[in-house]
Amino acid sequence: MSIVDNHSLALPPRISEAGVGDYIALLKPRVMSLVVFTALVGLMIAPGHVHPVLAITSILCIAVGAGASGALNMWYDADIDALMSRTSNRPVPTGRVTPQEALTFGLILSFFSVVTLGILVNWVAGALLAFTIFFYAVVYTMWLKRWTAQNIVIGGAAGALPPVVAWAAATGSLSVEPILLFLIIFFWTPPHFWALALFRSGDYARAGVPMLPVVAGPDATRLQILLYTIVLVAVAASPWALGYFDAVYGVSSLVLGGWMLMLAINVYRRREGAPALRAARQLFGFSLVYLFALFAILLLEVVVAAVLAQFG
Amino acid sequence: MDEEQPPGIVLTEAQKKKRRERSIAIAIALGILVVLFFAVTLVKGPAVLNRPL
C-alpha cells in the first residue's frame, strides 16, 4: 500500500458545518446587488420588448454568475483575506467553508449560470457572462491583484460588464449604449476603490496587495483619484452629448458629477490626519450613491416613457 | 468476529442541522432551475433547445 493511503487514513474526516448563510456570503451579496441593478438598467434600456420570464432568467443568471466569481475570488484569496480586517471574517479564512468547497461551489455556479443563460436566452450573452467570470476570477484575482497597482483599473472591466451582458441578453447583439454604460462603471471603479484603499491602506500593506496607496503613496493616489474623476464626469455626460440619452439624464449626470468632483478635490486637498480620512470616506460613500443615482435615472426614464406610452 | 464494529462517523446534532439546511437549499435551487426551464419552454416553445450556436 502506498504512503498516500496511510496518510489519508491518518487524517480525521472533516465534517462540514457550513450553513446556508456561509454559502450566501461566498456570493458577495452586496457586490451582487450592484451587479443586478446595473444589469437591470442595461436590460431595460435595450430596444425592443423582452418577455418578463426571459428578463428574470437573464438577471438571475447574471446575478448567479457574479456570485460564482465572488466565490472563486474568496477561494483563491483566502490567504490574504485572513490578513485584512475587512475580510478576515469571510467563510474560507475562518474555516467555516473549506477552500475545496468554495472552489467547487464557484465552478458549479459558473457552469450553470453560463449554460442556462446560453440555452434559455442567447449565446452572445452566455459567452459574455463566461468572459466576465473568467476576467474577474482569473485575470483580476489570480493575476492582476497581487501583481500591479493597476489591478483595480484593468480588473474593473469585470465589474463594468454586467449591463453589457444584459443588453446582449435582450438584443442578441452589442451597440454603443451598453459600451457607454461599461465605460461609466469602468472609470468609476478607480476613484471608488482608491478612496477605500486610502483609509484601508494598512490592511492592503499587511496582506502584500500592491494597491496604489501602498505602492505609490497616498498623495499620488489622491492625484489619480482626481484625474479619474474628471474623466468619469466627462464619460458619464457623453451619452447625453452624443444624443443617446436625453437632457434629464445629462443635467443629472453633470450635477452628480459636480458633487463627485468636489469630493475628489476635497480628497486631493486634505492630506493629513482625520480630515484626510474623513474626505476619503465621504468620497467612497458618495461614489456608491453616484453610480446608483446615475443608473436609477436611466431606469426611471424608461419606466416613465413606458407609462406615458401606455396611458398617453 | 464477535467484536463490535466501530461506529464510523457520527454526526453531531449541529452538523445534522447544517446538512439538512444545505440539502433544503440545494433542493430549492434545483426546483428554481426546473421551473425556469419549464417557464422558458412555455414562452419560447419546445424549440428552445434547438437553436443555432
Domains and CATH numbers, chain A: 22-173 (1.10.357.140), 175-312 (1.20.120)
pLDDT at B53: 54
pLDDT at A104: 97
Residue B15 with chain A: CB contacts under 8 Å: 15-17
> Could you tell me the three cell numbers for A182?
461599461
Does residue B14 belong to the interface with chain A, where contact is any CB pair within 8 Å?
yes
pLDDT at A15: 78
Residue at B38 is within a domain: yes
pLDDT at A1: 43
Nearest CA-CA distance, residue A19 and chain B, Å: 5
One-character DSSP codes across A159-187: HH-HHHHHHHHHHSS--HHHHHHHHHHHH
Q: Cβ(A230)–Cβ(A265) under 8 Å?
A: no
pLDDT at A14: 75
pLDDT at A12: 66
Does residue B1 belong to the interface with chain A, where contact is any CB pair within 8 Å?
no
Domains contained in chain B, number: 1
Confidence category of residue B10, pLDDT binned at 50, 70, 90 = confident
Confidence category of residue B52, pLDDT binned at 50, 70, 90 = low
pLDDT at A2: 47
Please choose, from the candidates A74, A210, A213, the residue with its C-alpha nearest in 3D space to the C-alpha of residue A147. Answer: A210
For A129-142, b/e burial (b = at least 16 CB within 10 A) is bbbbbbbbbebbbe
Residue at B22 is within a domain: yes
The predicted model scores a pTM of 0.91
B25 phi, psi to nearest 5 deg: -60, -40
Nearest CA-CA distance, residue B3 and chain A, Å: 21
Residue at B7 is within a domain: no
pLDDT tens across the length of chain A (312 residues): 444 454 445 566 677 889 999 999 999 999 999 999 999 999 999 998 899 999 999 999 999 999 999 999 999 999 999 999 999 999 999 999 999 999 999 999 999 999 999 999 999 999 999 999 999 999 999 999 999 999 999 999 999 999 999 999 999 999 999 999 999 999 999 999 999 999 998 999 999 999 999 999 999 999 999 999 999 999 999 999 999 999 999 999 999 999 999 999 999 999 999 999 999 999 999 999 999 999 999 999 989 988 998 887
Q: Look up the ipTM and state it.
A: 0.82
Residue at B29 is within a domain: yes
Domain hosting B24: range is 13-47
Residue at B53 is within a domain: no
**Partner-chain contact B22 A54, CB within 8 Å:** no
Nearest CA-CA distance, residue B18 and chain A, Å: 5
